[in-house]
């Protein structure tokens, strides 16, 4: 049995999951080829190696081409604590303005996007499950029916690519079982389509029900709704690393720098 253990010592977000899986050996070209099977246009992935507190990791960026022909990279307001430092972005890309992620889709719209892709059935099922968890959490937060919720930050092209890409990664790596550590919570506020929200964002916190968490002094969002929903849909147990023969290790990097610890997500893959 092949096991993946996500060590979330600095939290988790969609792009960090992709970076960790690629760093651990996921074929980047194969990932991009699979993502092209989605009925979406105007995006591509870029990867680069960065260092966080002298630990090398892989940074994955979703580059989106606008109607005006400009290339945009995920920026402040996206569903990721790992973005927000403009000086670290590629010089030839602009940032996506807050809330400008394309149309705010409903759950049924996202399900249609996933189902129309020529992807393996198990990938589709897992991706749809993640979006369903996101919609359920948002519906509870807003006090409205799940199918009526507009999934703002988590329904843009970047979020669709992050979530579907993470599911593709688990599939291509042949992961049978997923475990994860307890989740650290940052503090402060985060900007989103609904204004300033406390950290953790209400939607993310709702997704962490029945999950072991602990408070930290880090300023900023550490566990995003996308990261929390991915774990909720895939993890069978939270806690210490399970017994396994360790084979692969990967580090997924975020853009933001925390002064006290490296902004990295570590994945350990082995045979159990």
- Residue 89, pLDDT score: 28
Beta-carbon count within 10 A of 94 CB = 14
Q: What are phi and psi of 52, to 5 degrees?
A: -125, 115
Pairwise pLDDT comparison (271 vs 85), residue with the higher score:
271
At 16, is the pLDDT very low, low, confident or very high (cuts 50, 70, 90)? very high
Q: What is the span of the domain harbouring residue 220?
A: 2-271
- Is residue 38 a contact partner of residue 164, using CB atoms and an 8 Å limit? yes
How many Å apart are CA 140 and CA 246, to the nearest integer?
A: 39
Residue 91 has pLDDT above 70, yes or no: no
pLDDT over 90 for what percent of the chain? 67
Instruction: Give mean pLDDT, residues 127-153.
Output: 81
Domain count, the chain: 1
Q: 3-state class of 237 per DSSP? A: strand
Q: Which of 214, 216, 220 is CA-nearest to residue 191?
A: 220
Beta-carbon count within 10 A of 195 CB = 7
- Is residue 130 a contact partner of residue 233, using CB atoms and an 8 Å limit? yes
- Is residue 197 a contact partner of residue 49, using CB atoms and an 8 Å limit? no
* Least confident interval from 3-17, 33-47, 153-167, 239-253: 153-167
Most confident among 102-106, 109-113, 267-271 (mean pLDDT): 267-271
- Residues 6 or more apart whose CB falls under 8 angstroms from that of 231 comprise 6, 12, 178, 180, 183, 211, 238
Pairwise pLDDT comparison (109 vs 49), residue with the higher score:
49
Beta-carbon count within 10 A of 67 CB = 6
Instruction: Give mean pLDDT, residues 75-94.
Output: 35
Most confident among 86-90, 154-158, 219-223 (mean pLDDT): 219-223
């Amino acid at each position: 049995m092949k096991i993946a253990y996500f060590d979330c010592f600095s939290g988790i977000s969609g792009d960090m999951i992709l970076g960790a899986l690629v760093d651990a050996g996921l074929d980047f070209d194969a990932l991009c080829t699979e993502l092209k099977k989605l009925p979406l246009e105007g995006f591509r992935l870029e990867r680069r190696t960065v260092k966080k507190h002298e630990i090398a990791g892989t940074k994955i960026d979703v580059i989106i081409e606008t109607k005006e022909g400009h290339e945009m990279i995920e920026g402040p307001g996206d569903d990721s604590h790992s973005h927000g430092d403009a000086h670290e972005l590629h010089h030839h890309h602009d940032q996506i303005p807050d809330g400008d992620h394309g149309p705010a889709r409903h759950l049924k719209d996202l399900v249609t996007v996933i189902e129309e892709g020529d992807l393996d059935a198990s990938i589709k099922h897992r991706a749809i499950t993640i979006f369903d968890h996101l919609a359920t959490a948002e519906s509870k937060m807003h006090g409205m029916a799940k199918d009526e919720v507009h999934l703002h930050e988590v329904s843009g092209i970047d979020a669709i690519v992050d979530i579907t890409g993470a599911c593709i990664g688990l599939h291509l790596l042949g992961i049978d079982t997923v475990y994860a550590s307890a989740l650290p919570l940052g503090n402060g506020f985060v900007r989103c389509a609904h204004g300033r929200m406390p950290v953790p964002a209400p939607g993310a916190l709702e997704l962490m029900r029945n999950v072991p968490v602990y408070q930290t002094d880090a300023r900023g969002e550490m566990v995003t709704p996308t990261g929390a929903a991915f774990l909720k849909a895939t993890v069978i147990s939270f806690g210490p690393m399970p017994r396994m023969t360790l084979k692969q290790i990967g580090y997924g990097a975020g853009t933001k720098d925390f002064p006290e610890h490296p902004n990295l997500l570590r994945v350990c893959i082995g045979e159990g």
